[in-house]
Amino acid sequence: IPDPVMGEELKACVVLKPGECLTAEDIQDWARAFLAKFKAPRYVEFYDCLPRNANGKILKAALKTN
């Protein structure tokens, strides 16, 4: 995500397994506990599935536009 101060801000794009129940706050709390502050995502978005190309690679550009 574009950021006026740092250039870019981290966003976590999450696909939950069926039956799992996590919130954005749960993910951020875990990240703050186990990662350096600058690596913890400020934004969390949930998806049913991530966009992929024909080779199965994740289309990062498509995630940036959302």
Report which residue type is found at 17. K
Name residue, tokens 């940036």.
64
17-47: pLDDT as tens digits: 999 999 999 999 999 999 999 899 999 999 9
Predicted local confidence at residue 18, as pLDDT? 94
CATH number at residue 19: 3.30.300.30
Q: How many CA atoms lie within 13 A of 52 on its CB side?
A: 8
How many structural domains compose the chain?
A: 1
Separation of alpha carbons 63 and 11, rounded Å: 10
- pTM over the 0.85 mark: no
Range of the domain at 47: 2-65
Query: What is the distance, to the nearest Å, from the Cα of residue 24 to the centroid of all Cα atoms in its chain?
Result: 10
Predicted local confidence at residue 47, as pLDDT? 95
Torsion-angle region of 50 (φ positive above 0: left; ψ -120 to 50: alpha; else: beta): beta
> Which residues neighbour 32 within 8 Å (Cβ) at sequence distance 6 or greater?
40
